[in-house]
Chain A
């Protein structure tokens, strides 16, 4: 049986920050509905790989293909549109907009996509409810606990119904129970909606929520169970 075509794939990515190489020929595939953990030590290139896959930065060499389109060939405007409509991103520190309430933070991607204000706020409220932070919807990020802020960031990443969620150390700043709530919310939602998740983490207990794991070492993917 032939293997299905991956939804997102990277081949031979290299990327340097100044003279420091971050990726050295990294290749990875993410399939539809799959939760993939990318693990590795600090400085192994995990976040740079995520940025390349999400079209946030362009690799120096290699290609990224999403749903049949080579992201590396797309103009910035189209990339930006893809990021807004097809991708959701969660970072270690939610990066919520501090001046906006939790509700308005979650509504923002919908407003940018053209949804009217009342509709955007209603849907944002539903997502906050789902992630157990409806009661905090009028608070600003600085007034939320770390776990509440991260669940709000998850709601913001998922509110537009993206096909892929990129999560970069989403529990890295949380205690273990708050981290568990965030991961459970992410995994249950992704499973229900068939969303693919690329999960960057250095924590094996977080990686264990994924269907599969690849390890990055010195900017390249190391097959698991095989000596580097």
Chain B
């Protein structure tokens, strides 16, 4: 999966108005519940870079009864950059090797048991798919949660379909790899 651009995600969250780092982190984790939570350090570093590049600027401070926090807002240039990025086509992954594929080939090369590996991997994928399905089918699940679970489910399902086909092809595949 292509890594998400944290700077553009933060610009996107700033689109609804000025905000401080703590709030941006909280909103990010809510909007992308299946993604890895943002570290505070990463949020502040990214905000400083956005300011350095003229895409965001400091908009005073806010204490709201607690510690004083620096507020940020997107600049016109930042808003323009966000629009450009959001419309940009993400290139399909140029290389399709991944760990599962590599393990199957290595297992064949080394005289291992790729069928056993595929079967166990399939069970692990299904377990994760059950967890994600329970999250998205829960009553009251919000749209961000459903979309995020859908995205992960469809990718896991693609892996699963590849694993099923590979399991069915294993006899032929083994003969081909052995012949090289």
Interfacial residues, chain A to chain B (CB-CB below 8 A): 41, 183-184, 187-188, 204-205, 207-211, 213, 224-228
Find the A residue at minimum CB distance from B139: A188
Instruction: Give every chain B residue within 8 A of A226 (Cβ-Cβ).
Output: 116, 119
Other-chain contact of B122, A183, A205, A208, A224 (Cβ < 8 Å) = A224
Interfacial residues, chain B to chain A (CB-CB below 8 A): 113, 115-116, 119-120, 122-123, 125-126, 129-130, 132-133, 137, 139, 153-154, 156-157, 160-161, 164, 168
Give, as a whole number of angstroms, the nearest-CB distance from A39 to chain B.
Answer: 9
Other-chain contact of B119, A187, A204, A205, A227 (Cβ < 8 Å) = A227
8 interchain pairs, CB-CB under 8 A: A204-B125, A204-B126, A204-B160, A209-B130, A209-B137, A224-B126, A225-B122, A227-B115
CA distance A208 to B123 in the complex (A): 11
Instruction: Give every chain B residue within 8 A of A204 (Cβ-Cβ).
Output: 125-126, 129, 156-157, 160-161
Q: Known: A184-B137, A187-B137. Is A208-B132 also a contact (CB below 8 A)? A: yes
Instruction: Give every chain B residue within 8 A of A188 (Cβ-Cβ).
Output: 137, 139
Apart from the given pairs A41-B168, A208-B126, A208-B130, 9 other A-B contacts in the complex at a CB distance below 8 Å: A41-B164, A204-B126, A204-B129, A204-B157, A204-B161, A205-B133, A205-B153, A208-B132, A227-B115
Q: Known: A224-B119, A226-B119. Is A207-B137 also a contact (CB below 8 A)? A: no
Instruction: Give every chain A residue within 8 A of B125 (Cβ-Cβ).
Output: 204
CA distance A204 to B165 in the complex (A): 13
Find the A residue at minimum CB distance from B124: A225
**Most chain B CB neighbours (cut-off 10 Å) among A41, A213, A227:** A227
Other-chain contact of A225, B119, B129, B139, B160 (Cβ < 8 Å) = B119
Name A's interface SS: loop
Instruction: Give every chain A residue within 8 A of B119 (Cβ-Cβ).
Output: 224-228
CA distance A92 to B144 in the complex (A): 31
Find the B residue at minimum CB distance from A184: B137
Instruction: Give every chain B residue within 8 A of A211 (Cβ-Cβ).
Output: 130
CA distance A183 to B78 in the complex (A): 43
Instruction: Give every chain A residue within 8 A of B129 (Cβ-Cβ).
Output: 204-205, 207-208
**Most chain A CB neighbours (cut-off 10 Å) among B115, B123, B156:** B123
Report yes or no: A208 in contact with B115, Cβ–Cβ below 8 A: no
Instruction: Give every chain B residue within 8 A of A225 (Cβ-Cβ).
Output: 119-120, 122-123
CA distance A168 to B126 in the complex (A): 20
CA distance A183 to B153 in the complex (A): 15
Give, as a whole number of angstroms, the nearest-CB distance from B58 to chain A.
Answer: 44
Instruction: Give every chain A residue within 8 A of B115 (Cβ-Cβ).
Output: 227-228
Give, as a whole number of angstroms, the nearest-CB distance from B157 to chain A.
Answer: 5
Instruction: Give every chain A residue within 8 A of B132 (Cβ-Cβ).
Output: 208
Report yes or no: A224 in contact with B123, Cβ–Cβ below 8 A: yes
Instruction: Give every chain B residue within 8 A of A228 (Cβ-Cβ).
Output: 115, 119
CA distance A165 to B80 in the complex (A): 55
CA distance A60 to B157 in the complex (A): 36
Find the A residue at minimum CB distance from B156: A204
CA distance A207 to B156 in the complex (A): 13
Find the A residue at minimum CB distance from B159: A204
Instruction: Give every chain A residue within 8 A of B113 (Cβ-Cβ).
Output: 227
Q: Known: A205-B153, A226-B119. Is A210-B130 also a contact (CB below 8 A)? A: yes
Give, as a whole number of angstroms, the nearest-CB distance from B156 to chain A.
Answer: 8
Instruction: Give every chain A residue within 8 A of B123 (Cβ-Cβ).
Output: 224-225
